[in-house]
């Protein structure tokens, strides 16, 4: 799986970008894809010092992307983020 995750906003306002390839289990991928396909979460411009998360994931010929706020980020994507950033 190829991924690009951008975290912007927050107190410092300096964006962080994580990009690369990772091998994740099929079951984990199947859990996160629905969140990336059904991205009806709206951003909150009034969220002070809040972080915005932009996910782009490619697996084979499938491409998925979605944006979340700090409060709307699903647990499964938060766990994926932690897994990918700790291995980087």
Domain count across the chain: 1
What is the structure's pLDDT at 14? 84
* DSSP secondary structure string for all residues of 58-81: EETTEEEEEEEETTT--HHHHHHH
Least confident of 3-7, 37-41, 60-64: 37-41
pTM: 0.81
Cα torsion 17, 82, 59, 6 to 10°: value is -20
- Structural domain containing residue 6: 2-87
Put residue 41 in one of left, alpha, beta given phi > 0 → left and psi -120 to 50 → alpha. beta
pLDDT digits (tens, 9 = 90+) for 57-82: 999 899 999 999 988 999 999 999 99
pLDDT digits (tens, 9 = 90+) for 17-36: 999 999 999 999 999 999 99
pLDDT bin (cut points 50, 70, 90) of residue 42 is low
């Amino acid at each position: 799986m190829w991924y690009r995750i951008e975290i912007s906003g927050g107190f410092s306002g300096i964006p962080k970008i994580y990009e690369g390839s990772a091998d994740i289990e099929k079951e984990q991928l199947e859990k996160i894809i629905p969140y990336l396909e059904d991205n009806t979460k709206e951003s909150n411009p009034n969220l002070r010092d809040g972080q915005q998360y932009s996910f782009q994931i490619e697996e084979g010929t499938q491409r998925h992307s979605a944006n979340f706020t700090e409060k709307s980020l699903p647990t499964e994507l938060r766990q994926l983020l932690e897994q990918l950033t700790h291995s980087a």
